[in-house]
Chains A and B, each alone.
Chain A
Amino acid sequence: MNSTSAGQVYSFRSPWGAPIIQRSRFLQTLALGVYHLEGGEPVPGGPEIAVKLRLRLDSDAGIAPEETTYSATADTFVPGLSATPVDLMYGYVEGRNLLKGWLGFRLGRQYTANSLGWWAFDGGLVRITTPVYFQIEAYGGLEERGGLPLSTPRFERNGVWRGDRSAFEDRIYPQFQPAYIAPAYGAALESTGVTWIHGRLDYRKVFNQGNVFTGMFPDPVTGAYEFYQGRRTSSERIGYAFDATAASLGGLKGGLVYDLFNGYFSTYYGQLDWYAARRLTVGADYEYFRPTFDGDSIFNFFTHNPMTTITGRLDWDVSDQVDLALGGGVRSFVTDGDPNSFVSTEPNARSQVKQTDILGNVAGRYRYENGLFGLRGLFERGDRGHRQGGDLYGERYWMGGRWTGAARVSLFDWEDKLRPDRSATSFAYVLGGGFRASPIAQAMLEWEHDMNRIVGQRFRILALLNLTVTK
């Protein structure tokens, strides 16, 4: 059993000074895991049955009642906003290595992570692992969606503002769509067993159901809003990811996602690594990305061009205690016409123009017996501005980890060419400490102080209590 209690207090404000949002957040999670329900002495690689669940409350005392309750007289109602949302993050029973290793299953709310991304659904998953180096997976159920009981919108496709609108009329925020259950199914074919080569092919389809607004404006004659009904595609995608490694030479990774609804690749990428020396790896990465959205969203129709990123990388394990990583490259954005000189109103006269950002990354760690020091820095400069800066951070443990101290200093400079008034150089520091009162309880307290031209001084306090009981 594990529980996390976290309190956070901070504030932020509108770019125009008001309103100021006070956030007084309290997070409480409660997790339960029961393992080896199959009975007998656990055998490595043997059958296993387990039950896992985690509940979460994420309340914010800074949310005013008029922000969550519609009123004809107040202009602060935010559809979908809740002051005390509770969700079941996951809750499932799982079987592994059953029937002499052939069968695995999960039943309940569960996450999946694969070439199509990170996703959650309520339902069942069955995995058949064969002796001939591949396994088949099939699953079906309901996509986790915001506005439904014990759910968050985190795993929906982007592009639709959706939730529980049972408490207000059609004419109020027609762009806020009602949430309905969303049936989904998928399948995967994956290699298994060997470690030097691996691949996974995924397919998934999700449906939207129920009524949804079409026109964003009322009919000029009747004043009514129009709806679209019926089962329709939310998303249908196929993805593949692979990895191949030659231990003394290097490795190759790649993947792609084809969006069957939109009819184009939403992403493909490749990564090549050369093990130049025992402690030195040189790599290169390429990524193509084109935004896609839920099938209900009009934003799919606005997607024009991809962005592509090409980077080079160097990872150096200086010693067992010290490692460094350096990277850099370019990211290209494509527009139909030159944003800096375009004057034509003729759509067909446009030629594609690339705008390029230059990227840089540096990271390093020094780990010692009772702590670590680290460095993270980034650099990005392009047509829309720049960001550059980095963090130095450290942790120190005393009395075998009973006491923990942590500190971070951060300096960043950014320029926003679309909003020059939002450019700034910002310094921040964080001080924290932790105390493990017993094997089951650890408390932490953290103080953050940001200083820059935009906010002046900004403070944030975080208190955390972790309790874990294992039997």
Chain B
Amino acid sequence: MSGRILVFACFVAALAGGFRPAAAVTPTTAVVHGMHPIAGDKPVPGKWLPPGSFDPDGGPSSVVFPPQKITLRFNHKKHVKEAGATCATCHGKAKTSKVADDDLLPAGTTCDACHDTDHTDLKAVKGGSDEMGQCAFCHLGYRASAPNRVAALELPKPNMRFNHKAHLDRNIQCGHCHGSVDELELATRDQLPRMKGCFNCHNMSGAAQGQAKSACNVCHLTEPDGRMKVLFSTGELKPPRWLMNAQHTPDFIERHKRVAADNSALCASCHTERYCTDCHDGKIRPRSVHPNDWISMHPIAARQDNPRCTSCHQEQQFCLTCHQRVGVTMSGPNVSGNQFHPAGFVGTPLTARGPGHHAWEAQRNLNACVSCHTERDCAICHASTRRGGLSVNPHPGGFQRDCGSQFRRNGRPCLVCHELTSPELMSCR
């Protein structure tokens, strides 16, 4: 047996080896700086990533921050630690920027002071005399054969609101959101803020003083009705799992009620009432809830309480009306005399309760009974003889301990089966 396992393990290992890409042949050239966050494309330590990053980290939301194409090489660490630059040296526009759409990259002329270049006229940029002044020093893919043409930098606008000025005015510095860019060479999307990091401050009650409120629309774009905009060309925004445990997994329909029960305002951040009513008060069968030939399948689903009918249906109205129309009722129209339940389902006071008796179904899941039967059906046997029944006691053991309280709050159901002056009610009262 163990030999077979060994052979199987070898087979799996061989397969795995087969699928592994061939090792890349790395040229033994000198390291080129500014191409990656850390030379050699090593992973960025978590401590240098923006606050709120996970370990391991998957980067910022690709829906909010669409993928970029960076066609420049740049060494932030060298500029800050060796050249004495600060963030504001190149990104000074951030101090006055109030919207996330603002372009906060430096103009080429910012580079001219040190790089001996001249970007004044972008139609005729002049290179410098030394290596640092050559176009190809910064612009990736630059070809001398195609002068004054560089690859476009693609930095799509973020799908969010952000006011740099408001944050800087409150002394919330660049690193609070972007991490330790000064330790890195190339700054990539990975240095853009993480939503979890925003919550380091944005955890303030609605009426709190200050602006760091936690409402979604403080940062997220909104529809005209105030809900969050969730559909973008880059994808669909969905809550992360750490946000109130509301990750919209493929089986979220099984658990969404717990999120709504606790914080329906969170749901309403993105969903309209119509979204809920389509299922919970719907008139068109949602196939994600009721698949296949649901009309034929639903009796056993109702008995198994999966899904729970009462989540969306008022049984004595929605269910009963249909059951009456097709004659699946005991005392309604269209009653044909056909027996729906198996033999022995209804006994008499004189017969022993057997395995097929209806009491077991009522005890297992009473809601299944209520979807077809009105209280008159039950009263035929369970009402007292003076009320037209057969005095078959349906109450569970210990019922009389608390029934007085129910009687005082609403005596009506007691009177369906008992007379006001009956000994049973007198003892309750």
Count residues on chain B whose CB falls below 8 Å from chain A CBs.
139
User: Is the CB–CB distance between A324 and B250 below 8 Å?
Assistant: yes
Q: Which of A6, A113, A253, A340 contacts B245 (CB 8 A)?
A: A253
B→A interface (CB under 8 Å): 54-58, 62, 161, 196, 199, 203-209, 211, 213-215, 217-218, 222, 224-226, 235, 241-245, 247, 249-251, 254-255, 258-264, 267, 273-274, 276-277, 280-281, 283-284, 287-288, 291-293, 295-297, 299-301, 303-306, 308, 310, 312-318, 320-322, 324-328, 331-336, 338, 340-342, 352-355, 357, 360-367, 369-370, 374-380, 382-383, 387-388, 393-397, 399, 402, 405-406, 409-413, 415-417
Residue picked from B332, B341, B342, most chain A C-beta under 10 Å: B332
| A-B pairs with beta carbons under 8 Å apart, 27 shown | A14-B334, A44-B217, A45-B218, A67-B333, A78-B324, A90-B273, A97-B206, A113-B267, A152-B281, A175-B374, A175-B377, A195-B243, A220-B388, A246-B242, A251-B245, A263-B402, A275-B242, A291-B367, A296-B412, A298-B416, A299-B366, A303-B396, A334-B363, A336-B397, A342-B355, A408-B287, A418-B342
* Cα distance, A298 to B206, chains bound together (Å): 45
- Closest-CB distance, A406 to chain B (whole angstroms): 10
Closest to A333 in B: B364
CB-based contact A336/B376 at 8 Å: no
Report if A132 contacts B (CB, 8 A): yes
Assembly CA distance A387 to B331 (angstroms): 30
Q: Which of B241, B247, B387 has the most CB of A within 10 A?
A: B241
Contact A115/B261 with A295-B410, A385-B300 known, Cβ cut-off 8 Å: yes
Q: Is A399 an interface residue (CB 8 A)?
A: no
Residues of chain A within 8 A of B387, CB atoms compared:
215-217
Asked, given contacts A81-B321, A334-B363, A348-B397, whether A359 binds B306 with beta carbons under 8 Å apart, the answer is yes
Tell which of A131, A234, A363, A452 touches B251, judged by Cβ atoms closer than 8 Å. A363
Contact of B222 among A21, A44, A357, A376 (CB under 8 A): A44
- Shortest B60–chain A CB gap in Å is 13
Which of the residues B244, B287, B355 comes within 8 Å of A340, measured between beta carbons?
Answer: B355
Give Cα A298 to B382, complex, Å: 10
Given contacts A327-B251, A419-B299, whether A212 and B316 have CB atoms under 8 Å apart is: no
Within 8 A of B (CB), among A224-273: 226, 228, 232-234, 236, 239, 241-243, 245-248, 251-253, 255, 261-263, 269, 271, 273
Q: How far is the CA of A415 from the CA of B296 in the complex (A)?
A: 11
Q: Could you tell me if A339 and B366 are in contact, using CB atoms closer than 8 angstroms?
A: no
Q: Are B370 and A335 in contact (CB-based, < 8 A)?
A: no
Docked pose: A12 CA to B287 CA in angstroms:
17
- Is the beta-carbon distance between A313 and B245 smaller than 8 angstroms? no
Query: Residue among B281, B304, B379, B395 with the most chain A CB within 10 A?
Result: B304
A171 interface residue, CB < 8 Å from B? no
Q: A216-B379, A232-B411 are in contact. Are A33 and B326 (CB under 8 A)?
A: no
A426 to B281, CA, bound (A): 27
CB of B243 within 8 A of CB of A389, answer no
Q: CA–CA, A275 to B196, complex, Å? A: 15
A278 to B321, CA, bound (A): 49
Flag if B300 contacts A45 (CB, 8 Å).
no
A164 at interface by CB-CB < 8 Å: no
Q: Measured between alpha carbons, how far is A348 from B399 in the docked complex, in Å?
A: 12
A300 to B411, CA, bound (A): 12
Which residues does chain A contribute within 8 Å of B334, judged by CB atoms? 14, 19, 75-76
Q: How far is the CA of A173 from the CA of B299 in the complex (A)?
A: 25
Residue pair A455, B367 in contact (C-beta under 8 Å): no
Q: Is the CB of B394 within 8 A of A215?
A: no
Beta-carbon contact of B297 and A414 below 8 Å: yes
* Residues in B whose Cβ lies below 8 Å from that of A438: none
**Quick check: A76 and B247 within 8 Å, CB to CB?**
no
* Most B-side CB within 10 Å, residue of A54, A113, A152, A296: A113
Residues B215 and A45 in contact, CB atoms below 8 Å apart: yes
- Contact for A273 among B241, B254, B365, CB less than 8 A: B241
Closest chain B CB from A101 CB (angstroms):
4
Return chain B residues, CB-CB under 8 Å to A180: none
10 extra interchain contacts, Cβ-Cβ under 8 A, other than A320-B235, A412-B297, A455-B295? A6-B283, A19-B334, A117-B261, A154-B313, A245-B244, A298-B375, A298-B413, A363-B250, A391-B287, A428-B292
A178 within 8 Å of B (CB atoms): no
CA A307 to CA B378, docked complex, whole Å:
22
Q: Which residues of A contact B293 (CB under 8 A)?
A: 412, 424, 426, 428, 450, 452, 454-455, 458
- Residues of A with C-beta under 8 A to B376: 174-175, 216
Q: Is the CB of B251 within 8 A of A361?
A: yes
User: Do B249 and A193 have beta carbons less than 8 Å apart?
Assistant: no
Residue contact B412 to A212, C-beta cutoff 8 Å = yes
> What 3 pairs between A and B have smallest CB-CB spacing?
A217-B388, A363-B250, A193-B205
B203 in contact with A195 (CB, 8 Å):
yes
A170 to chain B, nearest CB (A): 13
Report Cα–Cα, A102/B320, bound state, in Å. 45
With contacts A228-B415, A313-B251, A335-B363 known, is A412 near B409, CB below 8 A?
no
Q: A133-B205, A247-B196 are in contact. Are A217 and B379 (CB under 8 A)?
A: yes
Give the CA-CA distance A12 to B370 in the complex, in Å.
21
Contact A255 B242 (CB under 8 A): no
Complex contact B327–A16 (CB within 8 A):
yes
A228/B296 contact (C-beta < 8 A), A80-B321, A293-B370 known = no
Chain A residues near B287: list those with CB within 8 A.
391, 393, 408, 430
Alpha-carbon distance between A285 and B251 when the two chains are bound, in angstroms: 13
Cβ–Cβ contact B366 & A297, under 8 A? no
Q: Are A374 and B205 also in contact (CB < 8 A) when A113-B276, A335-B364, A458-B293 are?
A: no
Q: B262 touching A255 by the CB < 8 A rule?
A: yes
Whether, in the assembled complex, A168 has its beta carbon less than 8 Å from a beta carbon of chain B, the answer is no
- With a cutoff of 8 Å between Cβ atoms, the chain A residues found around residue B332 in the complex are 78, 173
Output the residue of B62, B205, B217, B277 with the most chain A CB within 10 A: B205
Residue of B nearest to A62 (CB): B325
Q: Is the CB of B280 within 8 A of A357?
A: no
Name the residue of chain A whose CB is nearest to the CB of B394.
A302
- A165 and B394 CA atoms in complex are apart in Å by 29
Given contacts A315-B249, A387-B297, A408-B287, contact A243 B388 (CB under 8 A): no
Q: How far is the CB of B383 from chain A (nearest CB, A)?
A: 7
Q: Which residues of B contact A402 (CB under 8 A)?
A: none
Indicate if A404 sits at the interface (CB-CB under 8 A).
no
B321 touches A412 (CB 8 A): no
